[in-house]
Structure 1
């Protein structure tokens, strides 16, 4: 009996020693895990989760200790107030590295809390104002509205040869910023913007706005907003006999758009995504198959980017040989990380130095790449 006790004590001591040589690092995730945009929030979370699981399977060592990563995920509901509360919760839990927020309307107010808490954030939020605040710990791991809205306008003018367009935005920080960038570039490219209408990210009936725009004989409507609104908009355009194309940002470039829009969403819908084509990226196909095997569904728009952002943090920790966010941030700011969805290097503001944009339309309900522009 005594031998059993001695063996158990030895095993417990060994486990304690291993734990003492192991450091737990929490990776925070903030995104819409409930509500109409939950499909995007969960996809992003899964990208980060896959990275955390792979890192723990290796594992990596920083400053002589093995690092075990834990994903701490918070539902910010895509709402600014809930997003600030989620940020505070992550800060209070000692999180120093965050992937997200997803929405610009959440990222802009939450970034102040993260900055004050000494937290680094890697976000796909696209509104240019985010990185214009002067905070040091923000990394936009995606094209900005300037690139997404601007490239969509250039494609519409130069490739589609459109002359007259209209704009609708949902008044969110994201939708408004994107629509303004599209409008600015559309005018610069010689297109006429025949109207700019407004809705909300809670609306589903756009009949009165669309009826007004129909009389202006526009060739395309650019929508600054999200798929849960863009899909019924496409359906209502079809019902009203509006043959104009529906253009939008990266948030409508998703399988959900095809699901919700049905036969109203096809080659008539065009949208940009930041980054080059995943299928043509060296490790893109391998990532897609790993993701599907783990989560039993295809990776959507930003799963690979959230995976990359998590891996970028880990690589920077190793290079800095430190878990201090200031030292990790200095490595990220001064270097480059080669990821699945692209190569990440940042200017002084935290914007990507280069971010190609791929234009998509839809085939059989799925986003289908046309060209990198």
Structure 2
């Protein structure tokens, strides 16, 4: 493990800053160095010692509360084709700073950070190759090679004690202290970042969305710096509708039932589904919404049975969907399930539920399928880099990193207004498909579904999630419940 011990230089502090007394004395830092030399400090422990992490040119920099770099260490987890050489930093110009505001201990934050780091390592080792940039370590900007560098501020936004001021403070630090050129993140606090983006005139790209009000964004007003490369609820509704229609037609269904947890998210889908199904001669039955605390679904299952609906769309966000699935299987209810089911999409969910999710088709994230040239390399490299398969948020932030790098390479400037125009007018690659933006800077869903940003539908098969829809990208055929086979 290569170790660089540097109190101030890694942060680019001024000469006057170097003269400051170290906040905890030389013995403290000597002890940290000895711990590293003895390999007593893991990367996770290093991150936990400070609120800030800087990643760039193959190194992780943990910064203490007073702003001094304690130590850096090479990232030995990266695969050889994604790691970047430290020698490139000595000949390169000033780094371009990607500021990431995420919960470093949350369920989603670590994967998002790792996805950005993966993309940064690719750019820094190979140049911005996805958008025809020159080969080299970083981005060639006005004749000078500029590496990317990631600085992370911990927002703690995925914790039970969420405080919005933590997100605001983290983003403000990234802009004013770390001099970030672009802001990513805000998994649970994205609604608090757009005003800061407008105030400081800095690009903000959200790959998780959720609480951004796209209605106030236009390509020319003060919010035009904000982008979301994650489809919104209407985009997901489009995918859910087309997938439900696909399976309803497989069963020659006359009607489709709609049963979901009572969340605002699921109240948006029926108005989208109803006319599309009606055009195919299929009736969408009156939606049934149940409280998140419900565990006995006997009456709902009885109603589906009496309706004769050959296909049912089910939805769970926060509630445990296992009881519903168990009752569906135990009663051998003759309806095929298409879903937006968050608990069902978690890695290993089917095994933990003793096979309760077998045959369920669930709206999921990326798969190891070739939607774009970026899809399979991202899947393989992220899996090796992170030690697990990627989800949709990982894919979105990986794409956002390459998109921003490509926009800078193309525009040959870091000016936020020019970059915003370049991103808005461009067509960009993602592991999930082609990314273009609507008039409100939100990614446009695929229409038809194969020709744009695609959300895949997976099915639990023998303990693994397999892509089954769209058919063009299916990893294999859909498995149907033995008690409810579609007509031949």
TM-score normalized with structure 1 length: 0.75
Is 1:97 matched up with 2:182? yes
**Counterparts of 1:280 and 1:274, CA distance in 2:** 12
**Unaligned stretches of 5+ in structure 1?**
1-11
Separation (CA, whole Å) in 1 of partners of 2:295 and 2:407: 47
- Aligned match of 2:357: 265
Match of 2:138 among 59, 80, 97: 59
Match of 1:255, SS state, is coil
Give the match for residue 255 of structure 1: 347
RMSD of equivalent CA atoms: 3.9
In structure 2, the residue matched to 1:9 is none
Q: Sort the Cα spacing of 1:224 and 1:214 in 2 relative to 1 into closer, same or farther, 3 A.
A: closer
Residue of structure 1 in register with 2:398 after alignment: 307
Give secondary structure in 2 for the equivalent of 1:167: strand
Question: Is residue 120–residue 138 contact of structure 1 (8 Å, CA) maintained in 2?
Answer: yes
Deviations 1:175-201 (A, max 9, x none): 44345534554445433333423345x
Match of 1:26 in 2: 98
Give the length in aligned residue pairs.
Answer: 350
Secondary structure at 1:266 match in 2: coil
Are the aligned partners of 2:372 and 2:430 in contact in 1 as well (CA < 8 Å)? no
Larger Rg: 2
Counterparts of 1:192-203 in structure 2, within 5 Å, are: 192-199=283-290, 203=293
Alignment match, 1:46:
114
The answer as to 2:341 corresponding to 1:341 is no
Residue ranges of structure 2 left out of the alignment (5+ in a row): 1-8, 15-89, 126-136, 218-222, 445-451, 472-488
Which of 334, 337, 346 matches 1:246?
337
5 Å-filtered alignment, 1:1-373, equals 21-30=93-102, 34=106, 38=107, 40-57=108-125, 58-62=137-141, 64=144, 66-72=146-152, 74-77=155-158, 82=162, 84-85=164-165, 87-93=167-173, 94=175, 95=180, 97-102=182-187, 107=190, 111=194, 114-116=197-199, 118=201, 119-125=203-209, 130-134=213-217, 135-143=223-231, 144-178=235-269, 180-183=271-274, 185-199=276-290, 203=293, 205-207=295-297, 210-211=300-301, 213-214=303-304, 216-217=306-307, 218-226=309-317, 229-249=320-340, 251=342, 252-253=344-345, 255-267=347-359, 269-273=360-364, 278-279=369-370, 281-353=372-444, 354-372=452-470
Q: Which one has a larger percent helix, Structure 1 or Structure 2?
A: 1
**Residues 253-272 of structure 1, C-alpha deviation per residue, up to 9 Å, x if partnerless?**
553543444412222x1234
Q: Counterparts of 1:355 and 1:232 in 2: how far apart (Å)?
A: 33
